[in-house]
Amino acid sequence: MKVLVTYITRTGNTKKVAEAIYDEIDEQKEMKPLDEVNSLDGYDLTFIGFPINQLYPPEKAQKFLNNQTSGRDSALFMTHGVPEGTGLILDWISTAKEMASGANIIDIFNCQGKVARKVLDILQNSDDPEMRAFANMCVLAKEQPDRIRLQKAREFARSIVSQKKGYIAP
């Protein structure tokens, strides 16, 4: 089985998760930034990662999910500034699934990542109380993704590969 791990990163969070996933895969594999992927031909499984910025995946990730994933076995992973379990995450997962609606999405992993200082400053100084509340959630992410979240990403990778092979990992 040939596996591709591809990602977009802005602050390095998604790349850290991509590396954890890649390191855990014991198959023929490649890892490339999304900008370097022209086609998924030749890959049996693709892990596609992106950050959530301004409530959506970056435009390049949106186009990739819409145009490149049809008929492909894929697993998505996303990083974001809010704590896991926050209601917004369900919306983001739903949006990502819609964008990749032609793909066979095996599963989706998400984890908190640090928010760029510049973005955090803008949120904290906003006149909008919702933006300030969002900033308060993001402040807690300054050390993310941590080793626990990266371990969960490795477990996610093992599970996805096992499911693709037709069995569940112990």
130 located within any domain: no
d(C-alpha 83, C-alpha 113), whole Å: 9
* Length of the chain in terms of residues written: 170
Average pLDDT over residues 14-35: 98
Please give the angle made by the CA atoms of 98, 67 and 42, to the nearest 5 degrees.
Answer: 115
d(C-alpha 84, C-alpha 111), whole Å: 6
38 located within any domain: yes
Structural domain count of the chain: 1
Average pLDDT over residues 107-130: 90
134 located within any domain: no
CB atoms within 10 A of CB 21: 28
Structure tokens that stand for 153 in this block? 């990403």
Each residue's pLDDT tens digit, 26-67: 999 999 999 999 999 999 999 999 999 888 899 999 999 999
CATH number assigned to the domain comprising residue 22? 3.40.50.360
135 located within any domain: no
84 located within any domain: yes
pLDDT for 170 equals 45
pTM of the full structure: 0.90
24 located within any domain: yes
131 located within any domain: no
For residue 39, the enclosing domain spans: 2-115+145-165
129 located within any domain: no
pLDDT band for 167, please (50, 70, 90 cuts): low
